[in-house]
Copies of this chain bind each other. A is one copy, B any other.
Amino acid sequence: MRTPAFVPLATKATVRGLLPAEVAQLGYDIVLGNTFHLHLDPGDELVARRGGLHRFMAWDGPIVTDSGGFQVFSMGHGTVADEIKGRAPSGQQRAGRILAIAEEGVRYRSYVDGAERFMGPETSMEIQANLGADLALVFDECTPFHATRDYTARSTERTHRWLDRCLSWHAEHAPREQLVFGIVQGGVHEDLRVESTQAVAARGCDGIAIGGSLGAHKQQMYEVVGWATAALGDDPRPRHLLGIGEIDDLVAGVERGVDSFDCAMPTRLGRHGMALVPDPGARWRVDLTKSAQRESDEPLMDGCPCPACAIGWTRSYWRYMTRNRELTAMRMLTLHNLAFVERAVRRLREAIHAGTFRAAADALLAGAAP
Question: Could you tell me which A residues sit within 8 Å of B by CB distance?
Answer: 12-14, 16-21, 41-42, 46, 49-50, 56-58, 271, 294-295, 297, 311-314, 316-317, 319-321, 324, 326-328, 330-332
Contact = CB atoms under 8 A, between A and B. Distances in A.
A293 to B, nearest CB: 11
B328 A18 contact: yes
B17 A294 contact: no
B12 A326 contact: yes
B326 A16 contact: yes
Contacts of A324: 12, 41
Contact of A16 (B20, B294, B328): B328
Contacts of A19: 311, 328, 332
**Could you say how many copies of this chain the assembly holds?**
2
25 contacts: A12-B320, A12-B324, A12-B326, A13-B317, A13-B320, A13-B321, A14-B321, A14-B328, A16-B328, A17-B331, A18-B328, A19-B311, A19-B328, A19-B332, A20-B311, A21-B311, A41-B320, A41-B324, A42-B320, A46-B295, A49-B295, A50-B297, A50-B314, A58-B317, A327-B331
B311 A58 contact: yes
Contacts of A319: 42
A69 to B, nearest CB: 23
A313 B14 contact: no
A50 B16 contact: no
Contacts of A13: 317, 320-321
A364 to B, nearest CB: 29
Given A12-B324, A42-B320, A56-B314, 7 more contacts: A13-B317, A13-B320, A41-B324, A42-B294, A42-B319, A58-B317, A327-B330
Contacts of A317: 13, 50, 56-58
Contacts of A46: 294-295, 316
Given A316-B50, A317-B50, A327 B17 contact: yes
Contacts of A56: 314, 316-317
Contacts of A321: 13-14
A201 to B, nearest CB: 38
A57 B332 CA distance: 14
A328 B328 CA distance: 10
A316 to B, nearest CB: 6
Nearest to A308: B19
Contacts of A18: 328
A309 to B, nearest CB: 12
A176 to B, nearest CB: 25
A123 to B, nearest CB: 21
A324 B13 CA distance: 11
A326 B13 CA distance: 10
Contacts of A326: 12, 14, 16
- Among A312, A316, A324, A327, the one with the most B-chain Cβ atoms within 10 Å of its Cβ is A327
Nearest to A319: B42
A16 B331 CA distance: 11
Nearest to A323: B41
A293 B343 CA distance: 39
A131 to B, nearest CB: 13
A50 to B, nearest CB: 6
A16 B312 contact: no
Contacts of A57: 313, 317
